[in-house]
A and B are shown apart, each in its own frame.
Chain A
Amino acid sequence: MSKTTDTTRRSFLKAGALVAAPAAAIGIPAAAMAEDGSKAALARLQDERAIEALNRDFLRAFNRGGAKGTAKLFADRKAPAIAKGVSKLSLDFAEAPQSFAIAEDGSNATACFDCTFELAEELEGSETIVQMARMQGNSASVQTVRKTLSASYAKAGDAWEITSIELV
């Protein structure tokens, strides 16, 4: 298992991104800094930006087409198992992530974010109009839920992919 380095949470968001952090705020290994600090910091920034973009793509795809629409973002090309009825998933942009760490060798990463989503109660019944209502996203009731979105990522070539996402 790779060693990981944590980012500081507050600085992370001040960079104006979900998981992007200023290089100085990232625990870049001393050896790497000594060898070529700016190059390693730049690589780390690029990774964070890429993961940030990946997260945004995930949110956009999920909120548009449900879990199925996110499969292409995953390393195994399988949609994540997110509970039925979850919609309008969003990460809390006002707060820093609970945790974020990129492996020292830059091959994988993990992160936990505060998130909110709507949890819908399924409409009862099998009549035609119930089917139509479900198809356009109607539900019997909707409640807003706050949970933690726990994600892991892996680098495949130059690109990052999601390896797992769950709401805990």
Chain B
Amino acid sequence: MSGEAYPDLPLFRIPWTDMSEADISTRLAQVSNLGPQSASRTSRSLAGTTMQIVCDQGTTGVDGPSLSYNFTTSDSLIVTENGGVPTQAGYKALDMGDLTFFAYLIPTELRGFAVVVDNHTRSATVFELWFGGYKRKREVMREVYQGYVAVDGQPPSEVRHEFNNRLEGAGYHWRQDNGAETLEYYSSIAYTHWVELSRMSREIGYSAPADYIEIGHGKYIYTRTECEFSGIFTVYAFDVNKLTQVGLRLGFNAADELEFYVFRGTGEWLGQIAKFETFGNTAGGPMLPRPGPGQTADVDATAKGARAVYRPMETYVTMTKEEVDAIVPENTRVFANRVGAGSGATGMAYNVDTPSDKLIGKTATIPYDNGPTMDYEFTSVDELRYRLDGGSWTTTRYHAWEAIEDVFLMGHVLHGMPNHDGHIVVLDFEEGKATCYNGYLNTPYIANEAGCRHLFGKLIAEGVPDPGSKRHEYTEDMLGRAITYSYQPGLTSMHLYSTPGTTSWIIFTGDQQAGLEWSGTGAQVKIRDGLYFLYWIEEACNGTLGTILLNLRTMHDIGIGYHCGTEGLSMSPVGALLRHAGEFDVERFFQHRTRG
């Protein structure tokens, strides 16, 4: 793809090219003898020295290399791998206290190394990097080896850097010497969530697999591979006390330009949310591919570089508009009875309360300010009549749940609409307001991926006060917060509201470690203090519009999912038991929006 390196598109909408081995090789050949670029002055500390690093087995059990270096100058080295043929390569090094970080690519190969050496303990972490991908060569793969620096006449160091969960739940703001700024949430033992503050719109956060390694004495190593997107790999060592970092960025951006540079950076601690492991448990990643019950993905946990990577598009069956329009009219299930697979109300509905019967006999009119006028007659606990803009009456199935007294979450579909709309509405009989997340299909990128309009209006009914011009309003109250949602035994997810428009979800493992993570965009509306109406769309994932009405007083929610797949359109309830996991201090990064 030619064009902008960082176009004004979400990462999941950029048409990443596959890039052939030849494409990549050509680009690497131009730089491998020079080494990575750097905006800061690099270190000369290695010039004229030699070093031998002996590695243990890697994370997947593969044998680690023995690497002998002769740093002939401050930017050229000769490396011998496992006693093989010496190879010259360009490199750059950066020092940070006792640590030395250096990186290089091996000429004529799609491979390189990033190395972190603790000169005090003579311990090292070695990242072997290669353009190998899962399916696309542009995705940088990595194998991680722990090891030591061998010194003649001295016994091998027994100190090793360690994968653990010590960073789990921390958040940082980093500013690199080249101007790149990010918010980075270390929200899992094996995943990370980050927000690009300078390269891209800060409205959206993204999730990617990560490594978290403790060096000791407040120093750690972090990696991120932007799988499912560019495939770019970032690694840095950092000091949580001094808030400094040194690292490498390697990979191809959206313009297929090679980014191969080392960087220094300074940071800011944004907070620490809760961990949920048993006290004293410090087990960390990397998470290896583990086929659990019901998981049929093709995984090989013993392959070099293997780790658990959530690749949502691998399991998402996308549909055309014609396919959507053909299947939905005859295959729409709204709060279907739980009669088996495909009912649309299974794994996330265990904690859903019985639908409310309090609407039976009520009538209401909702003139949305920015949408249609809806008239309702609630005839039973699961059947209502509606008409849109004064048209003919239609009977349809619905369910409603009372979140607090006189405030209900209600959902139904609108029949005969060209884009198969569904309305998920907060009916506020106490204040006379209504807010609707209007789901619809036939969206531009994937026809069975939901879109969502936000409709605000007043609720007109007998005995209900007129709110005048007051409406429920968008809120940033949830920004930076993390809430856990326990849906059923073995299924707890944590939402992290990383930007005003992003919901990230992190799945806990059986040992209550925060594990796989993904994210989508949406909005947040305040109904009351402690009662919030949120939605997110699982874009380029499975297309679901997820909504929840979240009660921070009862720590319970009720939600409705709107989803279209090959089985048709469904509207399903979700409900969970909640815990507040904490909050990051990030509001100032979004003040252009929160003030507006």
Contact = CB atoms under 8 A, between A and B. Distances in A.
Interface of A: 61, 64-66, 68-69, 84-85, 87, 120-142
27 contacts: A64-B290, A65-B289, A65-B290, A65-B300, A69-B300, A84-B293, A84-B294, A123-B293, A123-B347, A123-B491, A124-B346, A126-B341, A127-B561, A128-B541, A128-B542, A129-B505, A130-B346, A130-B348, A133-B507, A135-B289, A136-B287, A136-B308, A136-B509, A137-B291, A137-B295, A138-B491, A139-B293
A131 B294 CA distance: 8
A141 B293 CA distance: 11
A133 B289 CA distance: 12
A134 B291 CA distance: 7
B187 to A, nearest CB: 14
Interface in B253-308: 287-295, 297, 299-302, 308
B292 A64 contact: no
Contact of B348 (A87, A129, A140): A129
Contact of B293 (A61, A65, A122, A131): A122
Contacts of B312: 128
B173 to A, nearest CB: 27
A130 B347 contact: yes
A108 B177 CA distance: 65
B525 to A, nearest CB: 23
Contacts of A87: 292
Interface class of chain A by DSSP:
mixed
Nearest to B505: A129
B315 A123 contact: no
A133 B493 CA distance: 9
Given A66-B291, A85-B293, A61 B507 contact: no
Nearest to A138: B490
Given A129-B491, A130-B347, A69 B302 contact: yes
Contact of A120 (B292, B488, B505, B509): B292
B125 interface: no
B302 A61 contact: yes
A122 B293 CA distance: 5
B516 interface: yes
Nearest to A60: B61
B50 to A, nearest CB: 37
B490 A139 contact: yes
Contact of B301 (A69, A125, A131, A138): A69
Interface in B480-507: 487-491, 493, 505, 507
Contacts of A125: 346-348, 491
Given A69-B302, A125-B347, A135 B297 contact: yes
B302 A134 contact: no
Given A65-B301, A84-B293, A133 B490 contact: yes
A142 to B, nearest CB: 7
A133 B516 CA distance: 8
B292 A134 contact: yes
A131 B315 contact: yes
A137 B509 contact: yes
A140 B488 contact: yes
Given A69-B300, A133-B507, A136-B509, 15 more contacts: A64-B290, A65-B291, A69-B302, A127-B346, A128-B538, A128-B544, A129-B491, A129-B493, A129-B507, A130-B347, A135-B310, A136-B292, A137-B295, A139-B293, A140-B491
A37 B95 CA distance: 65
A136 B293 contact: no
A48 to B, nearest CB: 25
A126 B342 CA distance: 8
B286 to A, nearest CB: 12
